Structure 1
Amino acid sequence: MTEATAAAIAARALPLVDLTNLEDDCKPTDIEKLCRRAVTPHGPVAAVCIWPRFVGQAATQLRGSGVRVATVVNFPAGGIETLAVVEEARAAVAEGADEIDLVMPWQAFLDGRRGFAETQITRVRAACPDATLKVILETGELGDALLVHAAANMAIAGGADFIKTSTGKVKVNATLEAAEIMLTVIEEIRREGGREVGFKPAGGIRTVDDAGAYLAIADRLLGANWVSAAHFRFGASGLLDALLAALDGKEAATGEGY
Structure 2
Amino acid sequence: MNVDDRRALALRVLPLIDLTDLDENSSPQAVAALSARAITPHGPTAAICIWPRFVETAKALLHGTGVRIATVVNFPHGGTDMDAVLAETEKAIADGADEIDLVLPYRDFAANGAVISRQMIKSVKKLCGNKARLKVILETGELADEALIEAASEVALEEGADFIKTSTGKVEVNATPEAVRIMLEAIREFRRDAGIKPSGGIRTLEDAGHYLDLADEVMGKGWTAPETFRFGASRLLDDVLAALNGNGSAAADSAGY
SS in 1 for 2:75: coil
- Counterpart code for 2:161: A
SS in 2 for 1:13: helix
Alignment map for 1:16-31 (pairs within 5 Å): 16-31=16-31
| Residues paired across the two proteins, number | 254
Aligned-pair Cα RMSD in Å: 0.9
Identity of aligned residues (%): 54
SS in 1 for 2:64: coil
TM-score, normalization by structure 2: 0.97
Q: Which of 220, 228, 232 in structure 2 is aligned with 1:231? A: 228
Aligned equivalent of 1:219? 216
Aligned equivalent of 1:149? 150
> C-alpha separation between the residues in 2 aligned to 1:202 and 1:162?
12
Runs of 4+ in structure 1 deviating by more than 4 angstroms, as ranges, are none
- Counterpart code for 1:126: K
- Partner deviation per Cα, 1:78-133 (whole Å, 9 max, x = no partner): 01401110110110010010000000000010112410111011010111212100
Matched, 1:177 2:213: no
- Counterpart code for 1:241: D
TM-score, normalization by structure 1: 0.96
Aligned equivalent of 2:256? 257
- Counterpart code for 1:155: A
> C-alpha separation between the residues in 2 aligned to 1:38 and 1:136?
22
> C-alpha separation between the residues in 2 aligned to 1:236 and 1:53?
21
> C-alpha separation between the residues in 2 aligned to 1:119 and 1:253?
40
Aligned equivalent of 1:128? 128
Shift, 1:236, TM fit: 1.4
Shift, 1:195, TM fit: 5.3
* Contact 2:80 2:116 survives alignment (8 Å): no
Alignment map for 1:90-169 (pairs within 5 Å): 90-130=90-130, 131-169=132-170
> C-alpha separation between the residues in 2 aligned to 1:101 and 1:166?
10
- Counterpart code for 1:186: I
* Contact 2:49 2:69 survives alignment (8 Å): yes
Matched, 1:198 2:199: no
> C-alpha separation between the residues in 1 aligned to 2:129 and 2:219?
26
Shift, 1:4, TM fit: 1.2
Shift, 1:253, TM fit: 3.6
Unpaired runs of 5+ residues, structure 2, are none
Aligned equivalent of 2:9? 9
> C-alpha separation between the residues in 1 aligned to 2:48 and 2:27?
15
- Counterpart code for 1:178: A
- Partner deviation per Cα, 1:193-252 (whole Å, 9 max, x = no partner): x55110000011110001000000001111111000010000011111110101111121
